């Protein structure tokens, strides 16, 4: 398909549909398309049929395309340029996208208008919310709801995904083009030159921009406007008075749309000549001042999107510019009314404008009052929310504090219970150990006592046995002594008898073994000595046995005393060790409790200090922010007020100079 030729023919048909939408335009459109097709003889029959059908449908659905175009203008605050191209884009997207395909539609749309404007319009059509808000109310004035829902909105929703992928994303990836391949008609140039709408920056996302009509900036944006970087200052306005014969910098403004322009032919020749002379002098002064830019350059400048900063200074300058334009229009109308000697319609128009301005002022006051009420309600609600959040936070902190206190109390009770159980267990173990030790000591004592008793009994038995043995031996000795004495007595008696017999018989015969008296005395002495020696030896043996028994008894007694002292020392050492262990455990418990309480106190102090620091920092930040806002607001307001006062003073001086010049010219002409 010859895409460019088909697009050119359809664009011409769209121009005719846009111009003659309200009249019987079918014949005019058909004739125009037939004339255009004569310049493209190389088009095939299918392409020619397609162009004729599209041209006929464009004339049928001109109201639909007009509604889409007007909705786009209301949504994005655009002027009326590229109206035929947008007519054709809307028709192709709604009715012919499936038949042509994404590649062909993209090739047709390319270079039809600047890429940002094309992307904005396609996004507007594909986004159902913006279409329902701005275009559907305009369509309902001509078409019924069933047609809009079934044939328009359904078609747009069905091709939204494919068009977004094949057309929008492809154009977003391409570099932006400020110029167009198809020239705009003269009507579009005039509309572009006369339009005073501000253009917004092109959208690069699939969601259309939020309209600015009737919108109100929220308080946070108003606060942010104070911190924006101000624009460069305007050049200084010279305080020197304007020259007496200052040339005009531009032509006098000629208002349009009033009925008194139709009566200009009836004005006197003198006034016509005066107006002609004034216009001639103004043209000469304008020609001397500088030439105007060509229409193509102006159209390029107007079609280029420029972002307008939404600052207080920009809004103030825009308001002042609008007021100056209105004042200039009133001044031009007043001069023209004075020229034609008829100010009735001007007075009526001025009265209507004053009433409209008064009504606008009242609406503005009411809107500001409502905004103030809404802001106060919002601030009150925000304060309530803040207080509720703070109360909830305090309640949570209290609950958390009580929970921590209960947990600490439970932990302390558990630790105290464990300590008491441990102490009770230690006491029970100590009592059992003491009872066992007492029983053991008693058993050992009883065993030692029994052993000592046994040893004492043995010693007593041994002593008694020794005593009995001694007594028996003594008795035996006594008996032996008695026997010896008896024998000695018998011997003495026998010897006496023998001696008496010997004395009676004569001398003793020594050979017969008879002893003399001296021999007998010596033998008796020897026997006495032997008896004394034996008795002394027996006494020594008894004394030795007794001394050994006494020493053994003393030794056993010393051993018992030593064992008792040793057990007493062991018992005292164990008692001292238990007391030291108990004191160490108590000291450790007190130290742990003291450390835990100190740590808890330090944690509470840290939290309290952190809260104090946070509150102090927040208070200091809020105070600094308020001071900065006040300072910036005061500086910005004072600077803008001084700047605009100087600018107004310069305008007043220029107006006074202009009035003096006009008066001098009038006096000169008179």
- pLDDT tens digit string along 495-531? 777 767 766 654 544 444 556 667 778 888 888 888 8
Whether 357 maps to a domain, the answer reads: no
The answer to the question of residue 389 being in a domain is no
- Per-residue pLDDT tens for 553-608? 888 888 888 888 999 999 999 999 999 999 999 999 999 998 889 889 889 998 99
Q: Which region among 235-244, 472-481, 519-528, 622-631 has the lowest average model confidence (pLDDT)?
A: 235-244
* pLDDT for the residue 639: 67
Structure tokens at 393: 């936070």
Q: Is residue 524 one of the residues assigned to a domain?
A: no
Residue 618 reports pLDDT greater than 50? yes
DSSP per residue, 562-592? HHHHHHHHHHHHHHHHHHHHHHHHHHHHHHH
Q: Is the pLDDT of residue 16 over 80?
A: no
- Residue 1, pLDDT score: 58
Residue 461 CA: distances (Å) to CA of 356, 453, 557, 559:
151, 12, 18, 22
Q: What is the pLDDT of residues 331-385, one digit of tens each?
A: 887 776 666 555 566 678 878 888 888 888 888 888 877 887 888 888 888 888 8
* Contact call for residues 132 and 208 (beta carbons, < 8 A): no
Question: Predicted confidence band at 247 (pLDDT cuts at 50, 70, 90)?
Answer: low
User: What share of the chain in percent tops pLDDT 90?
Assistant: 4
pLDDT band at 188 (very low <50, low <70, confident <90, very high): very low
Rounded average pLDDT over 16-27 = 58
**pLDDT score of 574:** 92
Q: What are the DSSP E strand ranges found in 349-478?
A: none
pLDDT recorded at residue 576: 92
DSSP helix/strand/coil, 513: coil
pLDDT of residue 192: 36
Tell me: the pLDDT tens digits for 304-316? 655 555 677 777 7
Residue 260 has pLDDT above 50, yes or no: no
**Does the pLDDT of residue 75 top 80, yes or no?**
yes
pLDDT at 231: 56
Flag whether 564 is in a domain.
no
- Residue 153 DSSP class: I
**What is the average pLDDT value for the chain, to the nearest integer?**
75
pLDDT value at 257 more than 60: no
What does the pLDDT read at residue 258? 47
Across residues 452-471, what is the average pLDDT? 81
**pLDDT for the residue numbered 586:** 92
**pLDDT, tens only, 83-139:** 888 888 888 888 888 888 888 888 888 878 888 888 888 888 888 788 888 888 888
Q: What is the mean pLDDT of residues 188-203?
A: 35
| Nearest residue to 322 via CA among 203, 198, 407, 408 | 198
Domain membership flag for residue 602: no
Give the per-residue pLDDT at 369.
79
Token reading at 419: 């300590």
Query: Residue 178 has what pLDDT?
Result: 42
In a domain, 8, yes or no: yes
The predicted pLDDT at position 289 comes to 43
| Residue 624: inside a domain | no
> Is 354 or 208 the better-scoring residue by pLDDT?
354
pLDDT confidence of 159, banded at 50, 70, 90?
A: confident
* 28 contacts: CB under 8 Å, gap ≥ 6: 16, 20
Query: Is 233:643 a contact under the CB 8 Å cutoff?
Result: yes
* 407-429 average pLDDT score: 87
249 pLDDT tier (thresholds 50, 70, 90): low
pLDDT at residue 250, as a whole number: 57
DSSP SS3 for 284: helix
Query: So what's the pLDDT on residue 341?
Result: 56
Query: Does residue 443 fall inside a structural domain?
Result: no
Q: What is the mean pLDDT of residues 434-461?
A: 83
Average pLDDT of span 421-433: 85
**Of 42-51, 164-173, 274-283, 571-580, the least confident:** 274-283
Rounded Cα distance between 478 and 149, Å, is 164
Instruction: Identify the domain containing residue 24 by its residue range.
Output: 3-173
With a cut of 70, say whether residue 65 has pLDDT above it. Answer: yes
pLDDT tens column, 604-614? 998 999 999 99
Is 80 exceeded by the pLDDT of residue 408? Answer: yes
Q: What percent of the chain has pLDDT over 70?
A: 72
Q: How confident is the model at residue 97, as a pLDDT?
A: 85
- Pick from 117, 121, 210, 211: which is nearest to 163 by CA? 121
Residues across the chain: 670
CA dihedral angle for residue 659, residue 663, residue 664, residue 666, rounded to 10 degrees: 140
Report the Cα–Cα distance between both ends of the chain, in Å, rounded.
72
Number of domains the chain contains: 1
CA 55 to chain CA mean position, Å: 59
């Amino acid at each position: 398909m010859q895409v460019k030729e088909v697009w050119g023919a359809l664009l011409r048909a769209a121009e005719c549909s846009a111009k003659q939408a309200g009249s019987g335009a079918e014949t005019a459109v058909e004739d125009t398309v037939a004339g255009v097709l004569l310049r493209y003889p190389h088009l095939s029959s299918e392409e020619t049929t397609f162009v004729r059908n599209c041209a006929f449908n464009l004339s049928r659905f001109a109201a639909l395309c007009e509604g889409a175009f007007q909705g786009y203008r209301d949504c994005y605050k655009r002027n009326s340029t590229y109206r035929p191209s947008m007519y054709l884009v809307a028709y192709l997207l709604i009715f012919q996208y499936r038949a042509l395909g994404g590649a062909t539609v993209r090739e047709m749309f390319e270079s039809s208008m600047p890429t940002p404007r094309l992307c904005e319009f396609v996004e507007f059509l594909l986004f159902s919310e913006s279409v329902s808000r701005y275009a559907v109310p305009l369509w309902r004035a001509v078409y019924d709801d069933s047609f809009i829902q079934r044939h328009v909105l359904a078609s747009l929703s069905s091709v939204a995904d494919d068009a977004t992928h094949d057309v929008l994303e492809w154009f977003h990836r391409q570099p932006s083009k400020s110029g167009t391949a198809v020239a705009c008609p003269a009507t579009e140039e005039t509309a572009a030159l006369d339009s005073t709408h501000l253009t917004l920056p092109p959208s690069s996302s699939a969601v259309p921009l939020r309209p600015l009509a009737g919108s109100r900036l929220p308080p946070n944006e108003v606060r942010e406007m104070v911190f924006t970087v101000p624009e460069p200052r305007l050049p200084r306005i010279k305080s020197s008075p304007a020259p007496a014969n200052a040339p005009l910098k531009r032509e006098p403004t000629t208002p349009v749309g009033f009925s008194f322009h139709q009566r200009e032919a009836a004005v006197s020749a003198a006034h016509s000549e005066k107006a002609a002379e004034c216009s001639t002098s103004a043209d000469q002064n304008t020609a001397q001042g500088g030439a105007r830019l060509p229409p193509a350059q102006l159209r390029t400048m107007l079609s280029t999107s420029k972002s307008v900063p939404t600052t207080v200074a920009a809004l103030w300058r825009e308001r002042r510019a609008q007021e100056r334009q209105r004042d200039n229009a009133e001044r031009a109308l007043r001069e023209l009314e004075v020229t034609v000697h008829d100010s009735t319609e001007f007075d009526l128009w001025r009265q209507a404008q004053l009433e409209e301005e008064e009504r606008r002022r009242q609406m503005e006051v009411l809107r500001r009052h409502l905004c103030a009420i809404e802001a106060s309600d919002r601030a009150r609600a925000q304060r309530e929310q803040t207080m509720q959040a703070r109360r909830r936070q305090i309640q949570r902190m209290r609950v958390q504090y009580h929970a921590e206190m209960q947990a600490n109390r439970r932990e302390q009770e558990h630790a105290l219970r464990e300590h008491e159980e441990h102490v009770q267990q230690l006491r029970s173990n100590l009592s059992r150990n003491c009872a066992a030790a007492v029983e053991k000591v008693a058993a050992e004592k009883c065993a030692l006592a029994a052993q000592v008793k046994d040893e004492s009994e043995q010693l007593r038995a041994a002593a008694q046995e020794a005593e009995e043995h001694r007594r028996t031996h003594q008795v035996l000795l006594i008996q032996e002594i008695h026997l010896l004495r008896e024998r000695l007595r018998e011997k003495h008696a026998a010897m006496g008898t023998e001696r008496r017999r010997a004395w009676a018989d004569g001398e003793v015969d020594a050979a017969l073994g008879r002893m003399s008296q001296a021999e007998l005395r010596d033998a008796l002495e020897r026997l006495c000595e032997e008896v004394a020696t034996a008795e002394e030896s027996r006494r020594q043996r008894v004394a030795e046995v007794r001394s050994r028994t006494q020493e053994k008894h003393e030794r056993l007694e010393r051993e018992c005393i030593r064992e008792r002292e040793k057990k007493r020392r062991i018992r005292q050492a164990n008692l001292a060790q238990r007391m030291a262990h108990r004191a160490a455990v108590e000291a450790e418990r007190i130290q742990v409790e003291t450390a835990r309480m100190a740590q808890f106190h330090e944690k509470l102090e840290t939290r309290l200090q952190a809260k104090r620091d946070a509150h102090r920092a927040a208070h200091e930040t809020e105070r600094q922010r308020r001071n900065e806002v006040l300072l910036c607001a005061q500086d910005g307001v004072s600077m803008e007020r001084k700047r605009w006062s100087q600018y107004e003073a310069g305008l007043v001086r220029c107006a006074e100079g202009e009035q003096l010049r006009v008066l001098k010219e009038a006096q000169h002409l008179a």
